[in-house]
Chain A
Amino acid sequence: MKSVKTQKKVFITVDVLLILMMVLPIVAGIVLKVLTTPPSEGVSISGAMVFFSIPMPFQDLLITESQINSFLVLISIFGLCLYMTHGIKVKAETRRQRIAEWIVEKVEGMVNESMGDYFKGYAPFIAAIMALSAFSSLLSLFGLYPPTSDLNIVAGWAILVFVLITYYKLKSGPLKYLKGFFEPVPFLAPMNLIGEFATPLSMSFRHYGNVLSGTVISTLLASALQGLSHMILGWLPGALSNIPIFQIGIPAVLSIYFDVFSGCLQAYIFAMLTMMYVSGGFSYDDYLLRKQKRQQKRMAKNKKSKTKNNLEVV
């Protein structure tokens, strides 16, 4: 009886710790933001704040808001994962377990549907892209700097995706991959090369541009609304002229579009494109053919060495 009680207590304590692990990074980010933001002077649109820089070869490593925030998101998602799978049972009792199951099944179904059976193991990767992108964009809801509006962050993901695309293209035949550049006509090779590199570039710029433009429009609109309310209430004496009547409510509606909808949509698009490009560059039939050929070669080699050995024995 007592052991059950203590077990329950331990369970709840772990739960609380995990929830803190989810919430604390965001709180820390907000605190950091409040402490470090200089008093604003009018409308200004700029990149992430640089906290400090570490000297490195080629370029200094700048530790910026986006770096910190993406780490915070990482920790938060880690906590969320642990929380959702904490106390997981065969008989689903808790809502969080059902949510975790739903996520896993949905992502796996999506990956299976658009990438095929061969890429089954990609489900966590796609889930990681979606979660990181969506949560990073959603950070702007807390007034934090969304890391996805920093080109470097999104470019990192796009480069990883590009590496994967190229890897799978090479896997289905390096010669075929090289030949693909000279098709349909050889003089189009430079275009094809540009097209190859345009994939990660377009992916990263699309994502980053969308999130950044949301921020820019929000900022512009906020200042415009401020001006509007000042214009209308300007004749009132004293502090009354500074009542921001238009800044109540309207930015919130826009925020739903630019922060929530756009953020989630971009995450979805990024994940979809990743799946499409990675599975599109890979031809399973060619891969099998290549594998078979290699095996045959190996077998022939083995035979040769065997006959050699036999001869030696004889």
Chain B
Amino acid sequence: MQTLDVISVNIWQILISLINLVLLFLILKKFLFKPVKKMLQKRKDEIDAQYQAAADAEQTSEEHRKEWEATLATADAKADIILQNATENAKRHGDRLVMEAQEKAESIIRVAQNEAELERRKATEGIKREIVEVSGALTEKMLEREINVQDHHALIESFIEKIGEENDGNN
């Protein structure tokens, strides 16, 4: 079979080889670079989406954290308020109790005073009556005649009263 020389130039062969290269370029572009790049783009998109999702999740968690922190802070304040209220209530309650106790004590004292006054009055009354009787008896003895205690009671009483008043005034 015939062979070419080691160096031989044939324009048609050159043209065909040129076309071959262009053909291979198109093949590589369409069947290797295009699908691979498409896939890489898709992968990039997916990764981006995942990053985005991660960022979103972080953001939401951050928001939650802030929310909780805020509620915690307000909770402290709330607790303070509650405590304050409670203390105030307790104070008020205590005050009221003390006041009531005081009132009660005062009323007891008042009652006791009244009673004492009554007693005193009774006692004075008794003493008066005795004095009247005694003085009645004395005057009876002195005048030797009977004095109707009943009749002169009012008179005597006014008299004693006068004495008492004079005593009070002296005192």
Q: Is A23 an interface residue (CB 8 A)?
A: no
User: Are A46 and B3 also in contact (CB < 8 A) when A128-B24, A129-B21, A160-B21 are?
Assistant: yes
CA distance A78 to B27 in the complex (A): 7
A124 is contacted by which of B3, B15, B17, B29 (Cβ under 8 Å)? B29
User: Are A71 and B20 also in contact (CB < 8 A) when A61-B13, A152-B13 are?
Assistant: yes
B17 is contacted by which of A49, A59, A78, A157 (Cβ under 8 Å)? A157
Per DSSP, chain A at the interface is: helix
- A156:B4 contact, CB within 8 angstroms: no
B14 is contacted by which of A127, A128, A132, A156 (Cβ under 8 Å)? A156
**A window 74-108: CB within 8 A of B:** 74, 77-78, 81-82, 84-85, 88-90, 100-101, 103-105
- B17:A77 contact, CB within 8 angstroms: no
- B8:A151 contact, CB within 8 angstroms: yes
Q: Is A66 an interface residue (CB 8 A)?
A: yes
Find the A residue at minimum CB distance from B16.
A67
- B21:A88 contact, CB within 8 angstroms: no
- B20:A74 contact, CB within 8 angstroms: yes
Contacts of B10 in A (CB 8 A): 59-62, 152
- A100:B36 contact, CB within 8 angstroms: yes
Q: Is B22 an interface residue (CB 8 A)?
A: yes
Contacts of B36 in A (CB 8 A): 85, 88, 100-101, 104
For chain B, the count of residues having a C-beta within 8 Å of the partner chain is: 39
Contacts of B13 in A (CB 8 A): 61-62, 64, 66-67, 150, 152-153, 156
A-contacting 9-mer, from B40-48, B57-65, B160-168 = B40-48
- B12:A74 contact, CB within 8 angstroms: no
Q: Is A142 an interface residue (CB 8 A)?
A: no
Find the A residue at minimum CB distance from B18.
A156
Q: Is A239 an interface residue (CB 8 A)?
A: no
CA distance A215 to B21 in the complex (A): 23
- B5:A47 contact, CB within 8 angstroms: yes
Contacts of B43 in A (CB 8 A): 90
CA distance A93 to B33 in the complex (A): 18
- B33:A127 contact, CB within 8 angstroms: yes
- B37:A155 contact, CB within 8 angstroms: no
**A window 41-77: CB within 8 A of B:** 45-51, 56, 58-62, 64, 66-67, 70-71, 74, 77
Q: Is A197 an interface residue (CB 8 A)?
A: no
User: Are A152 and B21 also in contact (CB < 8 A) when A47-B4, A49-B3, A88-B39 are?
Assistant: no
User: Are A156 and B21 also in contact (CB < 8 A) when A82-B31, A89-B39, A127-B28 are?
Assistant: yes
Q: Is B72 an interface residue (CB 8 A)?
A: no
Contacts of A58 in B (CB 8 A): 11
Per DSSP, chain B at the interface is: helix
- B15:A104 contact, CB within 8 angstroms: no
Contacts of B14 in A (CB 8 A): 152-153, 155-156, 159
CA distance A85 to B40 in the complex (A): 12
CA distance A105 to B10 in the complex (A): 37
CA distance A58 to B14 in the complex (A): 13
Q: Is A212 an interface residue (CB 8 A)?
A: yes
Q: Is A309 an interface residue (CB 8 A)?
A: no
Contacts of A38 in B (CB 8 A): 1
A131 is contacted by which of B12, B17, B24, B31 (Cβ under 8 Å)? B24
Contacts of A103 in B (CB 8 A): 32
- B17:A153 contact, CB within 8 angstroms: yes
- B32:A160 contact, CB within 8 angstroms: no
- B18:A160 contact, CB within 8 angstroms: yes
Contacts of A89 in B (CB 8 A): 39
Contacts of B148 in A (CB 8 A): none
- B4:A128 contact, CB within 8 angstroms: no
- B46:A74 contact, CB within 8 angstroms: no
Q: Is A40 an interface residue (CB 8 A)?
A: no
Query: Residues 212-240 of chain A: 1 if any B CB is under 8 Å from the residue's CB, otherwise 0?
Result: 10000000000000000000000000000
- B28:A128 contact, CB within 8 angstroms: yes
Taking beta carbons and an 8 Å cutoff, which residues of B are in contact with A?
A: 1-25, 27-29, 31-33, 35-37, 39-40, 42-43, 46
Known: A49-B2, A50-B2. 14 other contacts (CB 8 A): A49-B1, A49-B3, A50-B1, A62-B12, A71-B20, A74-B27, A81-B31, A88-B39, A89-B39, A90-B43, A104-B36, A124-B29, A128-B21, A151-B9
12 chain-A/chain-B pairs, Cβ below 8 angstroms: A49-B4, A66-B13, A74-B23, A74-B27, A85-B32, A88-B35, A101-B36, A101-B39, A101-B40, A104-B36, A132-B21, A151-B8
